[in-house]
Amino acid sequence: MSERIELSLPLPEAPAVLTDADGRIVGLTEQAAELFDQHASALVGRTFAELAVRQGPALSLRGPGAATVRYLSWPHEDDPTFRVTALIDVSGEVFSTSHPLPVELAGLARVEASSLQDVQRVARIGTWEWDPTTDLVTLSAVSHELLGVPAGRVLALEDYLEAVLPEDREVVRTSLAPLVEQHDPVPVEYQFRIVRLDGGLRTIAAQASARSRDQGVTVVGTIQDIGDPTVLRTRPGYDEVTGLPDEEAAVEVLGRLLSSPDHGRVAVLTCAPDQLERVDHSLGFRAGNELRATLARRLWEGMPEGCTVARGPNGMSFTVLCPDVAGVGGLEALTATVTGLLRTTTVVAGHLVHLSASTGIAQVQNGASSSEDLMRHAAVAVSEARRRGQGKVVLADRDLITEANEQLSMEEQLREGLRHDELVLHYQPIVTADGELRRAEALVRWQHPHLGLLGPGYFLPTARRAGMLPDLDRWVLRTAMREAARWPLLHGRALPVSINLAGLVPGDDSFVEVVEEAVAESGIEWDRVVLELVETDLVDLRPHHRAAMEVLVERGARFAIDDFGTGYSSLARLRDLPAQIIKLDRRFVSNIAVDAADCAVAQAVTTMAHAMGRACTAEGVETQEQLGVLDALGVDHHQGFLFSPAVPEPEFREVLAAEGGYRPVQA
């Protein structure tokens, strides 16, 4: 050892480094100094961020003669606040004849008497290599021990899979398939469970990557025992799913960082995996939590020393707290590290998922004065990043923060407006080409105390960002049904009412209950209720969501697919939906009299709707020319300014009372 402290390094003959809680080097071996191409005394007190650039799972060491290395890091067994990091040269160089190192990581599994074996034994990380051509797998000593396979045996892949729980074997096969079949260079991560000889159930985390060769590929990887899957981490201040500090703990840590003299160097990164919500919805929350745990482990293991990784709000993101941006190589380097760790391919519930993340960054110099401000600014930035598309990175600058503050003020005003009955409904008639009234659509407006009457385009985006759409939908449901129940009969017939739903959808557990309660409170007849859902809300509709719609249809309600033609519904999915009305989006109506393509789309939608036994309604009808074309195509109903704009409920009720010149027909 070139430098010694009270704690000793467990790998005295290997390139190993000991760092303290601040990420500064407090001890290292001569072999480690040799890799850095510097004297050991010059390295003590410095951080890895000063000495190397992270490139995924590798470190590119700075210096004219320095190497590219793979690294393994784990807490010191005597004091977990210190970390041991072992460095393995993969550049092809050999720095000391007295300490030979493997020249290829792909060959590590064959090296039985090297420093790497010591590293694996201490860190409990094993390596393996699989030749798909011969189907033979070679394991390191630690891998043999972890899997419970006798040492010295070289068997086929399926032989080794005997150690894996039967229900997890397909996960392993699915993970390895693209590496072999497509020569995919992107490493994959996956987990599987094994039963040890003592009967204990253990979870193994694995990583695999493909290495090209003259004929085909060789697959190499690592495995690590990450514990008993039946044991939950329930420490106060820590998230049970990921084992990371929770949101409240992160705020406390950030508060301490901001109280330090160097608080101007602090940065917060909020990272939202782009595919996480889709995994939750399509594969279930158990699969989503499996993905959360995998990504948490990648972040925790790959972060620069001194950085804290925590669970983000609602479990849909991760928060990275950096005490010293300059100390980790700058904001750009830190961002590249974080996004690189979250850009990966992994197997979730037997499915191969390609991952990326949207990232929002906040710094003290951009107007944040408290931990809450900094966290909020990072959240604003990640929302903007997600709006721009998957994998985007946004820094919270002053313009973005000002806009966010204005939005926050609008959110507060909208909540007040909802509580104090400032919202009102206007109604727009839906008619036949002859002007016969069929139903009316309820459209929400906001009677703002200072700004006057505001249309939905002004405040619905605010409601969506604030998560207020479900509450808004409940208000519209109750109000529209209550008002419609009091409408006078039109020539002896009660008029149906159409109600748009944006935040309350069939996938919600309370969907049926909320609609049933609104009908019961208002006293309206079920056959007068038409619920409009936009096509994009129906793309990923699962069987039990469709069943919720069918329950309401059995009661007598109808469903309309709004804005049809703007989503990605397949014909098979559309055929199976319990919807009775298809609404042609206004963008296909506006130029229908002069654009052959729009006319063809309208004709196709109308023909398809009728073939499936559904009615077709055109939105945004404003001219006689549009009406003439739509009527010739066989569109059943029309809605637009040509007939009437949306009008306040008292005015619409007067039209009904006067029978409005419309001849009543069966709704």
Q: What rounded mean pLDDT belongs to the chain?
A: 81
Q: Which residues pair with 126 in a beta bridge?
A: 223
**Which of 12, 360, 253 has its CA nearest to residue 27?**
12
Instruction: Tell me what pLDDT residue 97 has.
Output: 29
**In what side-by-side order are the strands of the sheet with 345-348?**
155-156, 136-139, 125-131, 217-227, 201-212, 188-195, 345-348, 351-354
**Which of 610, 621, 439, 609 has its CA nearest to residue 530?**
439
Instruction: Tell me what pLDDT residue 98 has.
Output: 29
- 596-630 pLDDT, tens digit per residue, is 999 998 999 899 889 989 999 999 999 999 999 99
CATH topology for the 247-396 domain: Alpha-Beta Plaits (3.30.70)
What CATH number is given for 124-231 in this structure?
3.30.450.20
Q: What is the pTM of this model?
A: 0.55
Instruction: Tell me what pLDDT residue 54 has.
Output: 55
CA atoms within 13 A on the CB side of 255: 7
CATH 3.20.20.450 segments of the chain: 420-657
- The amino acid occupying position 471 is D
CATH 3.30.450.20 segments of the chain: 1-101, 124-231
Angle between helices 543-555 and 511-522 (to 10 degrees): 20
The CATH class for the domain spanning 420-657 reads alpha beta
* 412 φ/ψ angles, rounded to the nearest 5 degrees: -65, -40
What CATH number is given for 1-101 in this structure?
3.30.450.20
Please provide the DSSP assignment of 354-386 as one string: E--EEEEEEEGGGT--SHHHHHHHHHHHHHHHH
Strands (E), 5-61: 16-19, 25-28, 52-55, 58-61
**Which of 557, 599, 548, 607 has its CA nearest to residue 582?**
607
The answer to whether residues 180 and 131 touch, using CB atoms and an 8 Å cutoff, is no
Token digits of residue 424 = 């009102």
Q: Which residues pair with 191 in a beta bridge?
A: 205
Residues of the chain short of pLDDT 50, as ranges, are 1-5, 56-57, 90-120, 122, 230-234, 661-667
| In 486-595, alpha helices (H) | 511-522, 543-555, 571-576
- 20-79 pLDDT, tens digit per residue, is 766 788 888 888 888 887 788 878 888 776 777 655 445 667 665 556 676 666 667 677
| CA separation for the pair 240, 542 (Å, rounded) | 28
Q: Would you call 353 helix, strand, or coil by DSSP?
A: strand
Instruction: Tell me what pLDDT residue 12 has.
Output: 65
